Structure 1
Amino acid sequence: MNPARTRHPRTGPAPAYAGSAQAPASGWTRLAPQTGAAFELAPGDRLTLLDPAGEQVSDLYLVAAGNVAEQFSSGRTTDFGNSIYVSTGSSLWSNRSRVLAEVVDDTVGVHDLTLTPCSQATFDILYPDLGGAPHPSCFGNLVTALAPYGVGPDSIGVTLNVFMDVWTDADGELHIDPPPTRPGDRFTLEAVVPIVAAVTACSAEKSNNGTCTPIDVLVERAATRS
């Protein structure tokens, strides 16, 4: 069992949400299954990722808006946070040892900082039943979303895999269990510096209990919250 479930126990039902698996709530942006998008955030702006159907992962990658060579670092986030478990209160650090964003709300507490975004190679190697057929991927969707900002494929590293349940047993074997999300569960970060946040509705069926579903996104501008 993933120790994050003990460190971040669930209390009560998932938050109420005016949207559903069929349609997003007013003001929210829906990422269709196996797609992605990028959102520009100024300091104080908040980005919320919400699972409207349950058991769906969302890959998240951040780059500094002023210099896209500065990007999210899972290694520094783990190192400086002294934990592989990200949740409310965690800082998301860059490869230049600067905080890009803070996690300000999290109803799940189970996320992954270890795995790279799924790519075509992921499906070629780990899904042999597909026979090498083209498949949507988080990596491909991140590349497309970040290309207008000058971010090349080779610079996209390990993502924060929101809602992804990854853990190792006593023998070091890796396990990926279905995301423990219920409809309405959410994860919110607040930008500390100007950033571009690329987000996906994960494309890997095995990471999403066999079925890929949407992710809803809400951007709240700092000026409208004050």
Structure 2
Amino acid sequence: MQTCDTQTTRIAPRTGVAFTLPKGAALTVIDPEGTQVSDLLAFAADDVREVISNGRTFDYEETIALTTGNRLWSNRSRVLLTIEEDTVGRHDFLLTPCSKDTFRHFYPDKPVHRGCFGNLAEALASWGITEDQIPVAFNCFMNVPVHGDGSIEVLPPPSRPGDRIVLRAQEDLVIGLTACSAYASNGGAFKPIDYRIDQGGEVPS
């Protein structure tokens, strides 16, 4: 478990962390070197059975192209996070965190890694969150185009060094955050992710 302040914290390549984010605080997720993905999970701090939901978010926001001004909703139809700033404009909320099974399926010639799923499970265990409670993550900077025939592919992220996304907490939250471990997600180069928490600010009514 990590504690955070307004200083920037680095997540080492292919690892993950978890921390609390109080209502009203802003979380800035930064790609310090470019072309990296960060899987983000958010749980309600007072009941971790409430968690971000891609289905609710797509439904209520009426888009899968989430960016500045969009909100991330929970499985109980409450807004957990609002995107206040986004210098990339492309993120994924379709694909599940990479796991050992992901590596066996897509990279049979590569060493098996526990992936973002395993990293999130370990980091979130302190809050009593089990593997079965880990949903589809909001994958910051991940580039997953959807083609006209319905097919999808994973391309390298368009993020450049220093690009960021800023999300404001609408409730007290537990956050899980990673520096992605999968080859396709980050162009095959495993890099760190930085984040910062700013405690100030008011939650819009």
Establish whether TM, by shorter chain, passes 0.5. yes
The whole-number CA distance in structure 1 between the counterparts of 2:140 and 2:55 is 16
Offset, 1:118: 0.2
The residue that corresponds to 2:85 in the other structure is: 105
- Out of 106, 121, 125, the position equivalent to 1:147 is 125
Q: CA RMSD in A?
A: 1.4
Equivalent residues, number: 197
The whole-number CA distance in structure 2 between the counterparts of 1:221 and 1:170 is 42
- Out of 149, 153, 172, the position equivalent to 2:150 is 172
Confirm or deny that 1:212 pairs with 2:177. no
The whole-number CA distance in structure 2 between the counterparts of 1:199 and 1:184 is 17
The residue that corresponds to 2:55 in the other structure is: 75
Offset, 1:96: 0.3
The one-letter code sitting in structure 2 at the alignment partner of 1:62 is A
The one-letter code sitting in structure 2 at the alignment partner of 1:69 is R
The whole-number CA distance in structure 1 between the counterparts of 2:21 and 2:7 is 16
The whole-number CA distance in structure 2 between the counterparts of 1:212 and 1:102 is 28
The residue that corresponds to 1:137 in the other structure is: 115
Q: Flag as ranges the 4+ runs of structure 1 deviating above 4 A.
A: none
Report SS of the residue matched to 2:154.
strand
The one-letter code sitting in structure 1 at the alignment partner of 2:48 is V
The whole-number CA distance in structure 2 between the counterparts of 1:171 and 1:80 is 24
Percent identical among aligned pairs is 50
- Out of 93, 102, 125, the position equivalent to 1:122 is 102
- Out of 170, 182, 195, the position equivalent to 1:192 is 170
Offset, 1:79: 0.4
The whole-number CA distance in structure 1 between the counterparts of 2:137 and 2:92 is 8
Give the conservation status (yes or no) of the 8 Å contact 1:165–1:176. yes
Gaps of 5+ in 2: 1-5
Offset, 1:30: 0.3
The one-letter code sitting in structure 2 at the alignment partner of 1:101 is L
Give the conservation status (yes or no) of the 8 Å contact 1:43–1:222. no
The residue that corresponds to 1:221 in the other structure is: 199
The whole-number CA distance in structure 2 between the counterparts of 1:149 and 1:29 is 21
TM (norm. structure 2) is 0.93
Give the conservation status (yes or no) of the 8 Å contact 1:34–1:136. no
Per-residue Cα deviation, 1:14-41 (whole angstroms, up to 9, x for no partner): xxxxxxxxxxxx9210000001111211
| Structure exhibiting the larger radius of gyration computed from Cα positions | 1
The one-letter code sitting in structure 2 at the alignment partner of 1:73 is S
